[in-house]
Structure 1
Amino acid sequence: MSDIKKRKSIGILGGTFDPPHWGHLRLAEHFSRILQLDHIIWMPAGQPWQKGSDITPAKDRLAMSEYAIETLHDLFVDHHIYTKIEISTLEMAREGPSYSIDTAKEIRALYGPDASITWLMGQDSWFNLKTWHQWPELPKYVHLAVASRPTEDPSSFAVNAEGVKEGLFADKRTENPQLLQLNPYGHVLFDQNLQINLASSNLRDGFYNQTSWDELADAIPPLVLEYIEAKGLYRNT
Structure 2
Amino acid sequence: MKYNRIGLFGGSFNPPHLGHLIMAEEFVNRFSIDKLFFIPVGIPPHKNVELAPKEDRFKMTVLATADNEKFFVSDYEIKKEEPSYTYITVLEFKNRFYNSEIFLLLGYDSLLEIKTWKNYNLIFENAKLCAFAREGFDIRGFDKEILRKILIIDDIKINISSSMIRERIKKGLPYRYFLHPRVYDYIVAKGFYR
TM-score (norm 2): 0.91
Q: Give the deviation of 1:151 after TM superposition.
A: 7.7
Kept in 2: contact 1:45–1:92 (CA 8 A): yes
Which residue is 1:169 aligned to? 146
* Residue number among 94, 98, 114 corresponding to 2:80 in the alignment: 94
Which residue is 1:78 aligned to? none
- Whether 1:230 and 2:178 are equivalent positions in the alignment is no
* Residue number among 122, 128, 150 corresponding to 1:143 in the alignment: 128
- Whether 1:48 and 2:44 are equivalent positions in the alignment is yes
The secondary structure found in structure 1 opposite 2:78 is helix
Kept in 2: contact 1:18–1:55 (CA 8 A): yes
Tell me which amino acid in the other structure corresponds to 1:208.
K
Which residue is 1:22 aligned to? 18
Counterparts in 2 of 1:232 and 1:150: CA distance versus 1, 3 Å = closer
* Residue number among 95, 112, 115 corresponding to 1:109 in the alignment: 95
Distance in structure 2 (CA, Å) of the matches to 1:108 and 1:12: 10
Distance in structure 2 (CA, Å) of the matches to 1:90 and 1:38: 19
Task: Show CA shifts across 1:61-97 (max 9, x none).
Answer: 01111111124x2xxxxxxxxx622111111112211
**What is the alpha-carbon root mean square deviation over aligned residues?**
2.1
Kept in 1: contact 2:107–2:134 (CA 8 A): no
Q: Give the deviation of 1:167 after TM superposition.
A: 3.0
Distance in structure 2 (CA, Å) of the matches to 1:140 and 1:11: 15
Kept in 1: contact 2:3–2:35 (CA 8 A): no
Bigger radius of gyration, 1 or 2? 1
The secondary structure found in structure 1 opposite 2:10 is strand
Task: Show CA shifts across 1:36-76 (max 9, x none).
Answer: 111001101011122247211111101111111124x2xxx
Counterparts in 2 of 1:218 and 1:198: CA distance versus 1, 3 Å = same
Counterparts in 2 of 1:206 and 1:142: CA distance versus 1, 3 Å = same
Which residue is 1:58 aligned to? 54
Q: Give the deviation of 1:188 after TM superposition.
A: 1.2
Distance in structure 2 (CA, Å) of the matches to 1:42 and 1:7: 16
Which residue is 1:183 aligned to? none
Runs (4 or more) in structure 1 with deviation over 4 Å come to 149-153
Q: How much identity, in percent, do the aligned residues show?
A: 32
Distance in structure 1 (CA, Å) of the matches to 2:73 and 2:121: 26
Counterparts in 2 of 1:45 and 1:168: CA distance versus 1, 3 Å = farther
Distance in structure 2 (CA, Å) of the matches to 1:133 and 1:12: 17
Task: Show CA shifts across 1:151-203 (max 9, x none).
Answer: 8552x368xxxxxxx53514xx2xxxxxxxxxxxxx41011122211111111
Aligned length: 193
Distance in structure 2 (CA, Å) of the matches to 1:88 and 1:109: 15
Alignment of 1:179-190 (within 5 A): 187-190=149-152
Kept in 1: contact 2:3–2:34 (CA 8 A): no
Gap regions ≥5 residues in structure 2: none
